[in-house]
Amino acid sequence: MSLLRVCAFAKCLNRRCLFEKCAVRVSLPDCCRLCVSTRSGVLRRISETPLQLQRRNVSFVIPKTEDGKKRVLEQSQLLDVLEARIHQLKSDVVLDVQHAKVQFVKAPSSGRGVLSSKGPKSTPQEKMDIPKSGQTVAKRASKSQPSRWMEKLTEEKKNKLKKQQHLQQKILKNVKEKPTAKSKSSKGSSMLPGTAHKTISTTAKKTAPLNKKSRGRMTLSDEIRAAVSSTVPSTAATAAAGTAVVPHKVSKGKQRHSKKQVLGDEGQKQTVADAQDRAQELAEVEELERRLSQQVSQWTSSNNPVPLQEDSERTACGDIQMSIRSYLEGCVFVGDIERAHQFLLSQHRVMSRRKHLSTDVYNIVMRVWAKRGTLNQIGRVFILLEDAGLKPNLGSYCAALECMGRNPNCSPGVVTRCLSQMEEDGLSLDNLFSRCVFRQDERDMVLNAVRIVQPDYQPTLNATTSECASTLVQDFYTQRADHQYPKLDFTQEELQERFKRQLSMERACTVTIDSVEAAKPVTKNMAKMRELLADQRAQWQKILLQALRERKMILANTNTKDYRLNLYPYLCLLEDSEYVDIMIQSVANLPPSGESLKILASDLGNRVYTKYSVRQKHQNQMVEKLGNIYNAYTELLAKDTKEYNILPREHWCKLEMEQSSGPTLQGGETHWPYIVTLELGTYMVDMMVKSLKINSDILNPAYDRKLIPILYHMYTFRSTRQIGFIKPHPILTQMQQEAMETKLTFDSYVMPMLCPPMPWSSVKFGAYLLTPTKLMRTVEGATQHEVLLEKCQNLHPVLDSLNQLGNCAWRLNKPLLDIIISIFNDRGSDKLDIPPPLSEAPKIPHFNSHDPTYTASEKAHMKREVINAKKKCSEMHSLRMDALYKLSIANHMRDEIFWFPHNMDFRGRTYPCPPYFNHLGSDVTRAILVFAEGKPLGPKGLDWLKIHLVNLTGQKKRSSLQGRLEYANTIMEDILDSADNPLNGKKWWMNADEPWQALACCMEIANAVRSPDPTQFISHFPVHQDGSCNGLQHYAALGRDVIGATSVNLMPCEVPQDVYSGVAQQVEEFRARDAQSGLKIAQVLEGFISRKVVKQTVMTVVYGVTRYGGRLQIEKRLKEIDEFPKEHIWDASHYLVRLVFSGLKEMFTGTREIQDWLTESARLISKSGHTVEWVTPLGLPIIQPYHRTRNQVLKSTMQHINLQISHDTKERPDTVKQKNAFPPNFIHSLDSTHMMLTALHCYSAGLTFVSVHDCFWTHALTVDTMNKVCREQFVALHGQPILQELSDFLLYKYCAGLPTEAKNKKYQEYRRLLLLLAKVPQTGDFDLQRVKESTYFFS
């Protein structure tokens, strides 16, 4: 066998030489994949162990010598033919394959990192010349046996060369000369157009080594030269590149007509014109290249786009890696060290699974051995790391040093070696202390180890309050002399007491509150049902507890060496009773119509994860430190402490640095991947379905007694997809409905906070005290946003604005809450948006489908009625439960003061974290919320309350503020009557657009006017200022569009301009013109075009609604008009949507241009294989997570769940979604930036400020101040060159440093993208400063 191995090795080595020569002599990557893949296969086999070689088929390892030579010769001929064919095919796109820098050829081991023009020496039989750049393909082809076909091709090329030389003089006049030093490989203007790219690729090779890092460091102009190879490194070559395009442009015509006629004078003129156009375009590309190279040097680290290739590599196996990490952390958490160690080894041993391991995965096991002080085990893991081709990072050395610190007999030499190794790897001790996440006493142990050799060492921690990069907020952070940060109306002791209450609620993870339905009198039947349910739940708990323990025993005995992820550790993270409580709670919350298995399972899995995260923080001894820091933090907010000139985030970071010993507060836990939560949840649902049963005669003793399941697993259809569904048995539903239980149990994060939220101090830390919260809400499973945020150096303005919104204290409007609850418990009211109970739902008709007395059409009609009745019941139940939750939470908090922590979506739009009850909710929830802090109305406060009331009614939209105020004064009698007798008076408030907020405002006005001095009346009421079609305002400002700006109140006017009425008027003019021309549908529409018909479409056009969507919106409005002939609805809506779009195009010319530019940019970017990314003016990185959908099947014992994943970064982008979503998402990111800027400056002015996207709230006293800040920040925002900066970013991200895979893309598309991104839409003459004077900009 040893002889066999020697022979195999020698033969492989021989073949390696052959294939290396073969690979080197070819310079087109498109035509040599076969060669390179064969060669890489050979190299792979060389690297294999002798045993692996023996296992292979001997006849393959030792091929016959003649066969090998013959195969190489055939491949070389094939390569020549392919290359020649490519030259022939590129008729009008010279540079289809000219991006090549021949990246696939590895640098020779001798150190020559560039390709020379001569090939390496070889035996005469194997010799293959590499042509010099001036040689023709035909000459090369003749070295191997040239065919008749190739001779014809050569002849054709000679003809092209003659034409080219004839036109060369004309073109030289048009092309802008750029003299540069000639490279060795350049042969000047004599070279063929087809070989021009080879000069460039060779030059690029000499200036850029083959590794990725060096390529990344190339100047932008070098990269563009390498890709845009029409700019060659000499004047003559530039001319040749210019001419290279010309003959190919007419080559099709030449091929068709060369036998009959030669190219005429006219054709030649056309060719010259084409050449001039190309030359002009070339000049544009050169100018763009120059501008880009200047821009590169100006990019700051905070928004510097990373190379595209690295992005995709980093997220390539994120889900699998997260699953592995969460599994290992779970094993360690429950103390199952053997399982963790064996699992890591099983992953490491198999190459296909080893690629999913990162250094951080190995570090998890290292930490375990560090706790035990077993340094030899850590050494073994270091060897595994090296074996996996990974480098130790700060976490690895941290574990090693911790282990040394725990060992009292550790020798200084060992520590010194560790520290010197760290230094060799480019890692510093200070970075270790500032970046590593410490748990329990790990930090102190590491410090102990370091002080063995450096007794006086003290970690140097850098403050995170670095200067903000965005020019928009530089003054905000640097000039604070006149800032007056608001305090809360609490003493420090009160805030500290509130912290303890919130902490205990989050520790429990759940909170049980009284339902508002508890106020109803208890009937005999209700008491009976409640008792039955309580008994059943006690039984179910015992049954589930037993079932869980039995299943865990089975799982525990499975092979721990198995590489597959086992659910056992996840079922040990909590006490068994806690899993049972979670399952029982989910049964109580299940709607009568059931819930999809996927949603129910995901909910269960997330609840387990939340409880586990809280327990982790306890185990890591984080809670005590959190309490110490929070108690010190309250000094900033409390009213009985000194004034601070510092922001909450800055104060928190300062306190963390001062109390750096002990565990780290920020991060460290791995978020469970969606697939893990789903799998765990499905396992729990399966247990519930199989274990939970009830007696069939529990409600009716006449039935036979038998145990029946309370939950059914069934299938239903959503559209065309079949989905698994969990439905409760009707007996259970009936018991729950009749019991009308008085208690509701919620997760703690559903409730508002009882103390001010923790400030967001990093992307991983803020909001709730213990409950895990994401800074950016994303689609379940999407990680690309998190990756971007972690790379971002400075998000301070974004974090500070979220903290400002979260620090606003709230309380309940109790009189209004009581009125709403009384209506809720008394059959509700559809008109007032209070859902009625299910007793008011339509009865579901029962009929026998097999009854022969029914006809087929009657059966179909009855089936439709049944379906509609069931749908109505389901909708009513959902709405009723939603209202029940909101009102019950509000009633629970009726005597409390509370806070809403905030986070944001991927566009930067902010949202309160509690999902049910918050100020972003419906009219009902907004009406019962008021500011906890009261402020006197002041001289104009009462007027603002009255104007706000008129705004809430939806009337007087075209009136001035003075007109609205006068109208309010004329209806004071109705206002006071509404306040005094809301349910028994004239009920004027019920006809308002927002009735409950109108009633609340009536009550506030009544209290103010009846006070001794209205100017001194303390008001807690929030007054709203709403943007006037805010999306169009941003578009008009971007395009400096005078007409558009006037239409959306950017321009000062006496009365507010109503864009919807303006568009309706324009549409009516178009319709009248068409009606005169005899168009029937235009005549039918006479008298039906109103503001209401077009409003929704106008509003949503700016957010990307298509003509199809717009037609559906208009169709819906027309159906609401009883007099409109129903037979004309389709034609009318089709006709009107065209007119609305035309009207908008005329009114907002700049808007359409910008929208089209954004859409087309996104289309070309996504076609090139990349998702669209940008950075807001405040530095928030945004990425659109729309990819082509892939299906992933989760196999469980219940059913196979098909997951449609549309955010997987390994999939190509979804071009349609990317292009349609970019304009609205970009505008949303601007409106969120404007809101954040307003929030920051209102905070520094001492104002209370909250927002509902483009609707800003403050006290009546401070409306004028907020309006001033709002306008100033809008002008400041749009004073930035937003579109130019976007263009620069996109150019740098997608056109500089072309990634490897893009070399196979057509150059035409790349050039189109380059030129499109550089061509920023032109702007008009609107003066932005006029916005400051516009009364109705926000009103």
Residues with a catalytic annotation lie at 1026, 1095, 1254
In the DSSP assignment, the letter for residue 829 is B
Whole-angstrom distance, CA of residue 403 vs CA of residue 449: 8
317 φ/ψ angles, rounded to the nearest 5 degrees: -130, 40
Strands 765-767 and 910-912: unpaired
1252 bridge partner residues: 1255
Whole-angstrom distance, CA of residue 849 vs CA of residue 188: 88
Whole-angstrom distance, CA of residue 638 vs CA of residue 650: 16
Whole-angstrom distance, CA of residue 868 vs CA of residue 19: 71
Burial of 1055 (0-12, 13-18, 19+ CB in 10 A): middle
Total length of the chain: 1339
| Strands, E assignment, 1211-1270 | 1250-1252, 1255-1259
First to last CA, the chain: 89
329 sits in the region (left: phi over 0; alpha: psi -120 to 50; else beta) called alpha
Question: 3-state DSSP: the chain helix, strand, coil percent, rounded to 5?
Answer: 60, 5, 35
Could you tell me if 686 and 1197 are in contact, meaning their C-beta atoms sit under 8 angstroms apart? yes
Q: Chain centroid to CA 11: how far?
A: 52
For CA atoms 515, 520, 521, 525, give the dihedral sign: negative
Only one residue has tokens 């500290």, namely: 496
In the DSSP assignment, the letter for residue 1338 is B
Order of all β-strands in the sheet with 809-812:
898-899, 809-812, 929-931
**Two tokens at 952?**
């809430």
Q: Chain centroid to CA 596: how far?
A: 25
Close Cβ partners of 632 (under 8 Å, ≥ 6 residues apart): 655
- Dihedral angle at the C-alpha atoms of 1161, 1164, 1165, 1171, nearest 10 degrees? 100
Could you tell me if 1268 and 1258 are in contact, meaning their C-beta atoms sit under 8 angstroms apart? no
- Dihedral angle at the C-alpha atoms of 646, 650, 655, 658, nearest 10 degrees? -100
Could you tell me if 586 and 601 are in contact, meaning their C-beta atoms sit under 8 angstroms apart? no
Only one residue has tokens 């080893």, namely: 354
In the DSSP assignment, the letter for residue 370 is H
Amino acid letter, residue 107: A
Could you tell me if 755 and 899 are in contact, meaning their C-beta atoms sit under 8 angstroms apart? yes
User: Which residue, among 802, 800, 904, has the nearest Cα to 477 in the 3D structure?
Assistant: 800
H/E element, 1136: helix 1129-1147
Could you tell me if 434 and 401 are in contact, meaning their C-beta atoms sit under 8 angstroms apart? no
**Two tokens at 911?**
């949202």
Whole-angstrom distance, CA of residue 264 vs CA of residue 274: 15
1204 φ/ψ angles, rounded to the nearest 5 degrees: -95, 105
For CA atoms 370, 372, 373, 379, give the dihedral sign: negative
